[in-house]
Structure 1
Amino acid sequence: MEYRKLPHGAEEISVIGLGMGGIHNASEGEIVKTLHAAVDAGVNFLDFVPSKACAFGGYAKALRGRRDKVMLQVHIGADYSSGEYGWTTNARKSIKEFEARLASLGTDYADFAFIHCIDEDADFDKVMNGAAWDYALKCKQAGTIRHLGFSTHNAGIARRFLATGMMDLGMFSLNPMYDYTDESAYGKGSADDRAALYKEFEAQGVGISVMKAFAGGQLLDAKASPFRHALTSYQCIQYALDRPGVLTVLPGIRGLADLNELLGFFDASPQERDYSVVGRFAPPETTGVCVYCNHCQPCPAGISIGLANKYYDLSHMGDEMAKSHYLNLEHHASDCTECGHCNKRCPFNVDQMSRMREMGGYFGI
């Protein structure tokens, strides 16, 4: 397992966590077996928004004796009063359901409490100026909530949450389809705007937990994909993990077989994870921008081109730590020999040699 540190905290979060939208299809015994196997494999980040409330019994059993080994992402606004998933902006119901979820999971705290599924400005205004947000702040102070977060599919709403200065983590829908097309309501925002948003998350020290990494399975099916080409789950996971700010990807699972398939990511070769084919599908107007995919590697001069670009972009956005991260790299842009290797290999048509010259002047070495 690989881990990434929460910027606003000491927690190390597994780069693959678990979404639970489809786990209700498994028996209680299968749920317990699956979660035990996940924890044993080092998975320590779990989101709890199943499609049906019946799944919570299996969760509770699986967590007994293992609560301290996992971090739970529990949502304020997820409504299971009917027995099935729903969402609400009603403060009283949101609070009641949040407390019911903690009780059903057999715990007295949430590692992360998320303001749930806010995609409209009116909903943001209602929730963030109401009793539900006041409740979240009080629980944070009391320790019932360890970290505050939010979930949205809307880049503009994400920025409003970031502007509060109170968030530690944001759950956001992220995949090549949402980043490079406008064919889904779950991927709101232009390619350039979404790319800038990920950098804003990182610059502000707010992590991203990724939902819909496979676009609901569309990207895994050539007929359903807007690119008319199937990507693999491993390509989608690596794509998400390479975006700035991303700490963990939360694919949905239905049981042990799905878990084992996910964990195969760590044994996959670089070629199996390589998503550079996306560059062939991206609209021409979105190319020319480094996405840190490292398809240009290995650099003959030893420069970590993806990281150098990332720190350069973040520094431009005002991230004060980015320059020191850049300076700590073993090789810098000034080491570039302009051999052209990176330009020939870049699937997104970035003129990396020109970028290296810019960086050398900007950072002064």
Structure 2
Amino acid sequence: MEYRFLPHGGDKISVIGLGSGSITGTEQEMVDIINTAIEKGINYFDMAPSVQAPFFAYAKAFAGRREKIITQMHFGAVYKDGKYGWTRELDEIKNQFDWELKLLHTDYTDMGFIHCVDDEEDLAEVMDGGIWDYMKNLKEEGKIRHLGFSSHNPRTARRLIDTGLVDMFMFSINPSYDYQKGDYAIGEVAERAALYRDCESRGIGISVMKPFAGGQLLNDKTSVFKKVLSHAQCFQYALDRPAVMTVLPGVRNMEDLHAVLQFISAAPEEKDYAVIGEFTHQDVDGVCVYCNHCQPCPIGLNVGLINKYYDLALAGDEMAKEHYRKLPIQADACICCGHCESRCPFHVKQEERMERIADYFGKIE
């Protein structure tokens, strides 16, 4: 296993970590997966599963080796009745954090992250509602070693980074979301690239979520490039971005974990992702790649993010459904003005997409 060192604090972090959003099976099966990951050198674990059950498996697997583990806990992810939920209620956040510490027999988390901050309104609630002050106090007490956050939005991320208090944050990075080619490397795409560089210059690390775009890039039928990329190519792509410390793939079972671990021994040619340089915009004609070239929407729809959450939800990402629901303006607000379609370089029929997306999320309320 290769390791990288966090500039602020020097923590030794495995370049491949473990996400918990997809893990399934019996408690013992989950314990076996986590134990195997640790034995193979993985030491960085994201603690925001899609259900509560994995916490109990983590408690067993971490027992007796807490000092070898780096935990990334999320302040805002809660688990009432065993199901994942999202909140900005401070008392609920405090209760969840206390519960996690008690269950894991520890008195601190290595990374304390504000959970999924994607827009200005939400950020204001975090900053003004006591959550950020609470987390800063926990850091002073030693219950959080490093402050951070998770986000899908470069602009919101930059606002938090500019506080000067962040050591690391979680961001979705893969060739699909970072798609850059010719005249279309603009807008949000450029913001993302600048964000990575700025984090590197400030000594802020990035942990990567969605390295396979919710599994889409591993299947030629769902890949926005209409071509398959391998696990190794996606991992190497993310690890080559400035400031990236670790990539956190979600695994469902032991088979998935073994597929992930093959990256450790993969040959350089297996990790080579140069093939993405051959993709042109015609390869993704009619497919939203979340570039936001269609912005600004006259009524404020974040068209790229709405499409991203929809595609992830279709791919089985339960959290994407919750993230969509907290968007301040959702797909059903579309007024079919044609602005986005007239500007889309990939000729996506967004009006039809917005209707389909609104119908989809409406049915799963």
TM-score by length of 2: 0.74
Partners of 1:118 and 1:152 within 8 A in 2: yes
User: Deviation at 1:278?
Assistant: 0.8
Change in 2 beyond 3 A, CA 1:282/1:133 = farther
Which residue is 1:141 aligned to? 140
User: Deviation at 1:282?
Assistant: 5.2
Which residue is 2:240 aligned to? 242
Superposed CA offset, 1:165-221 (max 9, x none):
00000100110111117xxxxxx9622221111101101110000000000000111
1:122 aligns with 2:121: yes
| Structure 1 gaps, min length 5 | 182-187, 285-365
Which residue is 2:255 aligned to? 257
Which residue is 2:356 aligned to? none
Q: Secondary structure at the match of 1:177?
A: coil
User: Deviation at 1:75?
Assistant: 0.5
User: Deviation at 1:105?
Assistant: 2.4
Q: Secondary structure at the match of 1:53?
A: coil
User: Deviation at 1:61?
Assistant: 0.7
User: Deviation at 1:138?
Assistant: 0.8
Of 244-253 and 60-69, deviating more is 60-69
Partners of 1:180 and 1:282 within 8 A in 2: no
User: Deviation at 1:281?
Assistant: 1.8
| Equivalences for residues 128-167 of structure 1 within 5 A | 128-167=127-166
Distance 1:119 1:19 in 2: 20
Distance 1:189 1:128 in 2: 27
Report the structure number with the largest CA radius of gyration.
1
1:8 aligns with 2:8: yes
Q: Secondary structure at the match of 1:240?
A: helix
Superposed CA offset, 1:48-96 (max 9, x none):
1111112211111111111111100000000112311111122221222
Distance 2:44 2:237 in 1: 19
| Equivalences for residues 1-365 of structure 1 within 5 A | 1-23=1-23, 25-180=24-179, 190-281=188-279, 283=281
Distance 2:2 2:187 in 1: 30
TM-score by length of 1: 0.74
Q: Secondary structure at the match of 2:223?
A: coil
Distance 2:187 2:224 in 1: 17
Distance 1:42 1:274 in 2: 23
**What is the identity, as a one-letter code, of the residue corresponding to 2:93?**
S
| Structure 2 gaps, min length 5 | 181-185, 283-365
Partners of 1:180 and 1:190 within 8 A in 2: no
Distance 1:79 1:282 in 2: 42
Distance 2:145 2:191 in 1: 30
Partners of 1:174 and 1:211 within 8 A in 2: yes
Partners of 1:102 and 1:108 within 8 A in 2: yes
Identity rate, percent: 51
